[in-house]
Amino acid sequence: MEVVAGGHAEPHLQGLNHLSLNLGILLALTCAVATQLGFLYKHRGANAAPRVDIRHPLRTARSLFGSKWFAIGMGVATGAWVFHVAAMAFAPLSVVQAVLSTGVVILAALADRLFGFEVGRRQWIGVAMTALGLLLLVITLPGQSGAHSTYSLAGMLAFEGGMLAIGALLISGPRMGAPDHHHGIMLGAAAGVLFGVSDVAIKALTGLDGPLAVLLSPWLAVTVLASIVAFYASARGLQDGEAVPVIAATSTAANVSCILGGIVVFGDPMPSDTLGIAVQAFAFALVCVAALVTPPPMRAAEANARAA
């Protein structure tokens, strides 16, 4: 009888893992759509609000939320965040990012069809290259089962510290002499990196036992801090740049950060063969080139104005 019970237990466990994976994918797809929709609403609202001034965070937050469209966008984004957390609780981080990588294509379609933004040919090329790069990046990661929430403390400290430093560098780019027309994209990328920091910390929190363990975890503080800074960086970036390039930079930076976090922190396996490694290197290069192909915000805005 024990052998029979054991024989039935393994298929049952595999079925649960498969159900968990499918649910995680569905939640991540819902998150991808809601995230891009929220960003587009926030872009419209941020440009109707006074300029973001981090020296006065409370006044800036009140001004932003005083804009109807920004408040709607934040509501949608909050719903997307709930779906994201739920997806990470049911599926490996790399699988969730595979689904979220479709967000840049969803962004361009929503911006073009529903929000009336003129998406130029070079922007469509940049979006397509970004989507292809992210897709190649995630499909070359070996398959996994289960939520995969265990992590390396050393890897977590190194990754989160490094990403926070990169985010701070991108935010300070304008003060370091970066060209004006790149400010929006740099701030968008900074927000994406910091959202990635928050997501990796949240993934670690999903593996803890009970609410008390979550409240006492230092990763909760990291999640809150990174999210707050990302909020202001994203809002200012949406004011300084055009919707599609800035939001695409945010989404791509968040995706790449989470994929790296899955590998460095949670031990998601990398390809073991030369072809897989080569494809991943090509995918990273493709994402970087896409950022150069996409027109900077100011030039794109001028081109759209002429087209209109």
pLDDT tens per residue across span 244-292: 888 888 988 988 888 888 888 887 767 777 887 788 778 777 776 776 5
Each residue's pLDDT tens digit, 90-107: 877 767 877 787 787 788
Dihedrals φ, ψ of 63, to 5°? -65, -45
* Mean pLDDT of all residues in 108-121: 77
In the predicted structure, residue 298 carries a pLDDT above the cut 80: no
Determine the residue type at 129.
M
Pairwise pLDDT comparison (279 vs 307), residue with the higher score: 279
Per-residue H/E/C for the chain? CHHHHHHHHHHHHHHHHHHHHHHHHHHHHHHHHHHHHHHHHHHHHHCCCCCCCCCCHHHHHHHHHHCHHHHHHHHHHHHHHHHHHHHHHHCCHHHHHHHHCCHHHHHHHHHHHCCCCCCCHHHHHHHHHHHHHHHHHHHCCCCCCCCCCCCCHHHHHHHHHHHHHHHHHHHCHHHHCCCHHHHHHHHHHHHHHHHHHHHHHHHHHCCCCCHHHHHHCHHHHHHHHHHHHHHHHHHHHHHHCCHHHHHHHHHHHHHHHHHHHHHHCCCCCCCCCHHHHHHHHHHHHHHHHHHHHCCCHHHHHHHHHHHC
Residue 280: predicted pLDDT: 75
Residue 4: predicted pLDDT: 45
Token reading at 152: 């390396």
In the predicted structure, residue 15 carries a pLDDT above the cut 80: no
- pTM score, two decimals? 0.74
Residue 303: predicted pLDDT: 42
Burial of 211 (0-12, 13-18, 19+ CB in 10 A): exposed
Cα atoms in the Cβ-side hemisphere of radius 13 Å centred on 192: 31
Residue 264: predicted pLDDT: 85
What gap in Å lies between CA 193 and CA 183, rounded to an integer? 15
| Parent domain of 169 | 2-307
**Domains of the chain: total:** 1
Which of 44, 188, 35 lies closest to 115, judged by CA?
Answer: 44
List the single range of 77-86, 145-154, 229-238 with lowest mean pLDDT: 145-154
Residue 68: predicted pLDDT: 93
Which of 37, 188, 185 lies closest to 106, judged by CA?
Answer: 37
